[in-house]
Amino acid sequence: MKVLEFEAKTLLGEQDLPIPRGKAITSSEEAVQTAQNLDCPVVLKVQIPMGGRMKAGGVQFAEGPGAVADHARRLLGSEILGFTVDRILVEESVDIQAEVFVGAIYDDFSRAPVLLASASGGIDVEAADTLFRRPFSVMVLPGDYVGREVAAQLGFDGRELLRLGSLITQVARCFLEWDATLLEINPLALDAQGRWWVADVHLELDEDAIYRQTGLLEKTVQSAQLAVPQSDFERRAIEINKSDHRGVAGRLVPFDGELGLLIGGGGASLTAFDAVLDAGLRPANYCEIGGNPSVWKIQELTKLILSQPQVERLAVIMNVVSNTRVDLVARGVIKGILQLDRDPSQIIAAFRIPGSWEEEGRAILEHYGVPCFGREKSIDQVVEGIKWQS
């Protein structure tokens, strides 16, 4: 979930990071009043969940009520980067003497959180050759020395090293504590009085960990409203997954096709989905399963998928499995269909899961007249067979 700048700054301010004075407003009159209260040059920034706002004209500097009103009227209601602007952050403009870039992300290669820093902040800093990387542990909150190491790499020493190092360490701690996938301050600005300021911030939270961040969610109301809305179908899938800790199942994405899908195996789920599309079939959903989900969980997902009025048949496809029992998946699918008073042999277009307890699963399916395939047939071949049944 992408968090809007003004809400991200509120969160950072509560962690004692230095935030310029300002207020998010929704009218030009409110913008003028805020600027007058600040009694200094201000910057007006559109509040949308996207980077690149300055390049797109969404950041404007102003002195005096007339300029503030003009900018606010022009920005409010405009469309920038595909979003209609309904809120602007009016904030005191920092007299920047120097700026740095500080961010935290997860690195796919090292599979660890990494601090990123550059001695030059600003637009397109991510592409700079001077970008410094410092991995840190996901298991414990980083100590003060981590931020100091980064500050030293950026060329600071003495008192400035201590000040900047403390801010950098706090960025890393917030990144971990908030289950963030991105926390980027660009720029972290130094003014003429030697004070650091969070001039701009980009914060993204891991949607799969939102349930652990109810406190943050209560403070990011506007950002949550802009997040991708979930349908009742998707919410029910999430409820099913959370109700039973065994296995992974519940990431359901609805489509408008007739073929329901229970697919799994990491990349194999994408392979199966692509095979369905390549065969000219119309998927009703994407649903990845794995990690040995319980019979109940598979049963409820089956019923949910088949509850879509356009769904005619169901395909159950996984790659060779070692951590998922074929017979449990088979039992869950059959039970779900029977509870809907439908015939498994008419509903299941194909069942292809080779691996653990395969023979037991095959026996269950054959009892109900369901076509069952193992590793003797590839995913593409199984999907092609579904196509010719249609």
Q: 301-316 pLDDT, tens per residue?
A: 999 999 999 999 999 9
Contacts of range 330-333, beta carbons closer than 8 Å, 24 or more positions apart: 330/361, 330/362, 330/364, 330/365, 331/295, 331/298, 331/299, 331/364, 332/293, 332/294, 332/295, 332/296, 332/297, 332/298, 332/299, 332/301, 332/302, 333/262, 333/298, 333/299, 333/302
pLDDT of the residue at 233: 85
Indicate the range of 35-39, 220-224, 356-360 predicted with least confidence.
220-224
The rounded distance, in Å, linking the Cα atoms of 364 and 361 is 5
pLDDT 10s digits, 235-262: 889 899 888 889 887 678 889 899 999 9
| Overall pTM > 0.75 | no
Q: How many CB atoms lie within 10 A of CB 208?
A: 11
SS3 160: helix
Burial of 205 (0-12, 13-18, 19+ CB in 10 A): buried
- Whether residue 228 is predicted with pLDDT greater than 80 in this model: the reply is no
pLDDT of the residue at 129: 59
Q: How many CB atoms lie within 10 A of CB 236?
A: 18
- Whether residue 152 is predicted with pLDDT greater than 60 in this model: the reply is yes
Domains, the chain, with CATH or none: 1-20+94-229 (3.30.470.20), 21-93 (3.30.1490.20), 232-389 (3.40.50.261)
pLDDT 10s digits, 173-192: 999 999 999 999 999 999 99
